[in-house]
Structure 1
Amino acid sequence: MFERTRIDNMSQSRAVAIPAELTLDDKSVLKGDLMMPASRPVHEVLNGPGVFIEFRPYGKEPQLLSKSAIRGISFIKAQPAGRLSPAANEAENFDPYRTLGLQRGASHVEVHKAYVALAKTYHPDRFANADLPPEVREYLAAMARQVNLAFHALETTNRDLVRRNRPENRPIYTSTPA
Structure 2
Amino acid sequence: MSLSVQFLTTLAMIAMGVEVGAALDTYKRFIEKQKSIILFINDFLFWVCQGLLIFLVLLNVNEGELRIFVFLALLCGYAMYQSLFKSIYMRLLERLISITITLYRFLRKLINGLIIKPIIWLLQLVLALCMMIGKVIYTIFLSICKFFLAIISWILKLLYALLPTKIKNYLHKGKEILLKGKGYWVLLQNKVKQWIKKWRS
Answer yes or no: same fold by TM over 0.5.
Answer: no
Higher relative contact order (CA 8 A, sep 6+): 2
Instruction: Give the TM-score normalised by the residue count of structure 1.
Output: 0.24
Greater radius of gyration (CA): 2
Instruction: Compare the two structures and name the one with the higher strand fraction.
Output: 1
